[in-house]
Structure 1
Amino acid sequence: MIRLASWIVGSLLITALAAWMISLPGTLTLEVANYRMQPRLGAAVLIFLVIAIAVIIIWTILRRILGAPRHLARRNRERRKEQGVQALSDAVIALQAGDPARARHLAREAQARLPTNAAARLLEARADLALGDMPAAREHYRALIASEKTAVAALTGLYDQARAQQRPEAALTFARKAMALAPSSGWAADAVFDDMTQRGQWAEAVAMVNNEQAGSRAERARKRRRQAVIETARAREAENSAPLAALDHALTALKLLPDFVPAALIAARVHINRGETRRAMSLLRRIWRATSHPDIAALYAHAQPGASALERLKRLREIIDVPPPHRAAGMTLARAAIDAYDWPLARQALAPFVDGDVTQGVASLMAEIEEGQSGDQGKAREWLSRAVRAPRDPAWTADGIVSDEWEPISPVTGRLDAFEWKVPVTVTHRAAEAAPLPQLPAEAALPLAPATNPT
């Protein structure tokens, strides 16, 4: 209704305007080719308007006709572009859905419609890689390296291809090239760093970590830990050949991670070998209070070279109360008491931990106590039987491997800082093939700390 009223009002206004123009007084004389016209002024204005409108309409029609081929060509280009983008999108979906053959077909279709789009060729290379067509993928990637825009993406693909073909040297070469082009490339930096740590190039590795940018608190903590682990690895490597350098690296690691047990053990051993027993014991006391790690307590007991079993037991009583506050302390004290033939103290140290879920270490120590104190072979065998079924004690574990000592990298994956102090989930051991249980060894395994403290 409003539209109809607006149309009627508009028509009336136009009609009134035209009538007013025609009724304007005066005449206009026009002479064209010996023809003279003298229309009224209003009629002349109206004629001019009509002619102008006609000229505009005719020019618009002519321009449309003349520009039709160009317009059709543009429409075709737009349509091909839309089809290419759609094919590219479908190719990504197909590759993600696990259909590389269809993804390659769609990528080629997208490349035909988008010849300047590098993403289509990159996607085709990815599809070739997924199909196992390594030569075709390599050709695509090498062609993409020539462009600065796609060089890093192409090197990423070549890196993945080299790893799939078990060519670590070639993969490392591609990672180094990608890192040179884009220093912020995370995968390239990780690949180069992992290679350095696996080769034991600790100085280069720590220099690389030092140059990392750490913005958040979590990133700074991760950087500090990596620095500490590398410094500890350097100390471990130099402990026998260059003890002063090893001590410097270990103390640097402890500045970064004050309670890092492997670094503390190396620093304490160097102090002991240099005759600096007080420094070693002071360091070990601090780390023991923070971590309750059994290796710390064991080294504390042996801090004085040549000390007797009774002297070692006396030294442990300085840091471990009776009854012991936790299993690690109890097992450590029991081990020292057994070595000193103090059977009542050994039994008292383990008393809080023999009920309920007894671990293998506790059961083995109790078997030693039963046999050593009273010679009761029956009770000793009973404890050994319990040890077979008992849960394991924490140990240095990485990727299913159990090691007697901490190591900087995993022997399985080569990953840095893989070893954790926790209860193993497998029975794999690096030093020897798996055995059911030791038959009351002369010196039992060192006591183990709670799994809640994997420092």
Structure 2
Amino acid sequence: MMRILFFFIVVLLLGVGFAWLADRPGDLVLTFAGMQYKVSLMVAATSIVAIVAGVMLSWWLVKSIVTSPYALRRHFRARKRDRGYQSLSTGLIAAGAGDGQTARLMIKQAEKLLNVDQEPLIKLLDAQAAMLEGRTDDARAKFEAMLDDPETKLLGLRGLYLEAQRLGARDASRHYAEEAALLAPNVEWAATAALGQKTTHGDWDGALLLLDKQKATKQIDKEKAKRERAVILAAKAIETYESDPVNAKPLAIEANKLAPDLVPAAIVAAKSLFAQGDLRKGSKILEYTWKREPHPGVADTYVHARVGDSPIDRLKRARHLAGLYPHHAESNLAIAHAALAAGELKEAREAAEAVLRSTPRESAYLLLADIEEAQTGDQGRVRQWLSRAVKAPRDPAWTADGYVSERWAPASPVTGKLDAFVWKVPVEQIGPVIDAGDDFDKALATEPSRPEQPTIEAKPILPPRKQDTKSQPVELPEDQDVVDAEIVPFEPPTQQTAKASLDKSSANSDSPQRIASVLPRLPEKPKESTSEPFVGPVPDDPGVKPEYKSSQSNKKFKLF
């Protein structure tokens, strides 16, 4: 645009000048070699301009002819370079897409068209192609060769760090990350990786020093720096608390001030305060954290704040804590655990069942199994709760990058990322919600019966009534003997026999549907008699000795 404007201005000035000369007539007299030449002023000006333009054109032609070999070489060199960069670009795209064969072909073309020593991207593409082809040793050697060049040293450290992470060589990855952080402190991946590696290996002071350097260079914002400092201080306090609770106290309190919602920091701060007898301040810390995020660790620490408390006192503290966040699953679980320890089994059962109605989970079913064993001792019900616990969704746990841990850690063991653990249900373990039901009897499975003798009509063993299952074990009627636990031949009953048995026992049952649900499926009678009698195995019964059978024939038998 500026060139067009400049050209327009020059043409405008020339036009104005010629117009000015045309308005002022005059002659130009030139004497040369005894000859006198007389021309008008306009002709003289036009001649001068034409001579200057001719000289400039002649000079351009001569210069173009002289410099044409160099211009041709430069043209072909630029064309070759453009083709090389095009091959390099195609190779990088192929490597990013996982096409190792195309990447290797483009490397060969780029090496022919470009200077390998002056173009570091060829080395990078060569290393990536080696990784795609599975030649990890060659890729590692190429990354190590990049360390000799200051221009590609950081790139080589990055490649070696990723390769060490892939192979699980934590010490090597830590070394490369620290070296890259020293070489370029402003590179985020190097500083973050070095910080995570120091935290994973327990170098708390080194991690805090590196974090301060990042904060000074403004690599991370203030809020993130505060959070990461709180994580490191909390981890250091947890490690120090077991051996030196006094020195762990200031670290834990500072971590709790920097991140009040960090559960491990609140727990270790409260424990250090409880150890020194400061019950009020430690309880306030836990209560504040509980209001923001209920956690079973917070509840356990709060309930067991004083060593000499009785189970009733701990139950009172659990009720107070649950009142700060009512109707939450963790609140009900805290009450259920404390009530079970205090012997308040009814309250413990109600709290555990409230969890099943809102968010069924594995721990609630296990807790109900303990309550059932303590309250009724019915092993059948206990096994029922345990079987439902196996299929129930898992409880929340500390999860980071797909890794589930029983304890909190400051950094992820997979990637080394700081503050990666989150309290949540593991994603791969989420399952369908199991309907707890209002009545336990509806979920209670009843085993089918079998006939006593080959010639006796088969009678189903009916389950107890709904109101009887809550306070006493299930027993057979008084007039029914124990079935002989041995394999005996018998003639299978027909469908008419089963129907008659159903009509006969309908007076002592709750409903025909209930009987139909427990009535065993009877095999059809064969049309022709076989040479061998039908042998019906008794499910879940290995049999008894003959002498033991006669002595035990008059005793009652429990279903569970």
Q: Same fold (TM over 0.5)?
A: yes
2:244 to 238, 242, 246: 242
- What residue is the counterpart of 1:8 in the other structure? none
The alpha-carbon deviation at position 147 of structure 1 amounts to 4.2
Q: How does 1:132-143 map to 2 (within 5 A)?
A: 132-133=134-135, 137=139, 141=143
Letter in 1 for 2:337: R
Are residue 304 (structure 1) and residue 298 (structure 2) matched?
no
Decide which moves more: 74-83 or 131-140. Answer: 131-140
CA deviations over 1:252-280 (Å, ceiling 9, x no partner): 11011113221222222223333333333
User: Which has the higher mean CA deviation after the structures are superposed, 264-273 or 209-218?
Assistant: 209-218
| Cα shift readout 1:101-136 (whole Å, capped 9, x = no counterpart) | 433443454344443333334433433444445566
Matching residue of 2:447? none
Distance 2:147 2:414 in 1: 33
Could you tell me whether the CA contact under 8 Å between 1:284 and 1:296 is conserved in 2? yes
Return the TM-score normalized by structure 2: 0.62
Deviation at 1:189, TM superposition (A): 1.6
Aligned counterparts, 1:1-16, within 5 A: none
Contact 1:214 1:220 in 2 (8 A): no
Would you say the 8 A contact 1:323–1:348 is kept in 2?
Answer: no
Q: Between Structure 1 and Structure 2, whose CA radius of gyration is higher?
A: 2
Q: Does 1:328 align with 2:303?
A: no
Distance apart, 1:239 and its partner CA: 0.8
In the TM superposition, residue 395 of structure 1 has moved relative to its aligned partner by 3.0
Alignment CA distance shift 1:127-1:377 (3 Å): closer
Q: Distance in 2 between matches of 1:300 and 1:56?
A: 96
Matching residue's letter, 1:150: T
1:124 matched to which residue of 2? 126
Residue 280 in 1 paired to residue 275 in 2?
Answer: no
Relative to 1, partners in 2 of residues 1:40 and 1:423: Cα closer, same or farther, differing over 3 Å?
Answer: closer
* Match of residue 229, structure 1, among 231, 246, 249: 231
The whole-number CA distance in structure 1 between the counterparts of 2:399 and 2:61 is 83
Q: Secondary structure at the match of 1:66?
A: helix
Give the secondary-structure state (helix, strand or coil) at the position aligned to 1:303: coil
CA distance in 1, matches of 2:224, 2:323: 35
Once the 2 structures are TM-superposed, how far is the Cα of residue 329 of structure 1 from its aligned partner? 1.3
Aligned partners of 1:48, 1:360: CA distance in 2, in Å?
Answer: 103
Worse-matched range after superposition: 92-101 or 408-417? 408-417
Work out the CA distance in 2 between the residues paired with 1:414 and 1:49.
77
Partner residue of 1:103?
A: 103
Q: CA deviation at 1:170?
A: 4.2
Aligned counterparts, 1:330-409, within 5 A = 330-350=332-352, 352-355=354-357, 358-399=360-401, 402-409=404-411
Q: Distance in 1 between matches of 2:29 and 2:322?
A: 125
Range 394-403 or range 291-300, more displaced: 394-403
Q: Residue 191 in 1 paired to residue 193 in 2?
A: yes
Using the alignment, how far apart are the partners of 1:141 and 1:391 within structure 2? 46
Q: CA deviation at 1:235?
A: 0.9
Any conservation in 2 of the 1:107–1:121 contact (CA below 8 Å)? no
Instruction: Kindly provide the amino acid, as one letter, of the partner of residue 286 in structure 2.
Output: L
- Give the Cα separation in 2 of the matches to 1:417 and 1:339: 35
Give the conservation status (yes or no) of the 8 Å contact 2:325–2:331: no
- Alignment size in residue pairs: 406
How far apart are the structure 1 equivalents of 2:173 and 2:379?
60
Deviation at 1:243, TM superposition (A): 0.9
Rounded Cα–Cα distance in structure 2 between residues aligned with 1:30 and 1:390: 118
Percent identity (aligned): 37
8 A Cα contact 1:324 1:349, kept in partner: no
Aligned to 1:155, the other structure's residue is in SS state helix
SS of the aligned residue for 1:391 comes to coil
- Secondary structure of residue in 1 paired with 2:321: coil
Aligned in 2, Cα 1:324/1:338: closer, same or farther, shift over 3 Å? farther
1:68 aligns with 2:81: no
How far residue 140 of structure 1 moved from its aligned partner, in angstroms, is: 5.0
The aligned counterpart of 1:149 is: 151
The separation in 2 between residues aligned to 1:29 and 1:188, in whole angstroms, is: 84
Query: Contact 1:100–1:131 (CA<8 Å) still a contact in 2?
Result: yes
Deviations 1:189-225 (A, max 9, x none): 2232222122111111122123223999994333222
Measured after TM superposition, the shift of residue 83 of structure 1 is: 2.2
Larger RCO of the pair (alpha carbons < 8 Å, separation 6+): 1
Distance 1:101 1:162, change over 3 A: farther
3-state DSSP of counterpart to 1:318: helix
Aligned partner letter, 1:269: K
Q: Structure 1 66/220 Cα, relative in aligned 2: closer, same or farther at 3 Å? A: same
Other-structure match for 2:79: 79
Q: TM-score by structure 1 length?
A: 0.74
Q: 1:84 to 1:270 in 2, by over 3 A?
A: same
Structure 1 residue 356: Cα displacement: 6.4
Unaligned 5+ segments in structure 2 are 1-14, 430-560
Matches within 5 A, 1:257-268: 257-268=259-270
Residues 154 and 27 (structure 1), Cα distance of their counterparts in 2 relative to 1, 3 Å cut: same
Give the residue type in structure 2 aligned to 1:329: S
The 3 A distance-change label for structure 1 pair 357 and 171 is: closer
Give yes or no for contact 2:395–2:425 (8 Å, CA) kept in 1: yes
Give distance in 1, aligned partners of 2:421 and 2:179: 31
Distance 2:218 2:274 in 1: 39
Contact kept? 1:108, 1:120, Cα under 8 Å:
no
In structure 2, the CA distance between the partners of 1:69 and 1:191, relative to structure 1 (3 Å rule), is same
SS in 1 for 2:398: strand
Please provide the CA RMSD for this pair.
3.9
Give the partner amino acid of 2:158: T
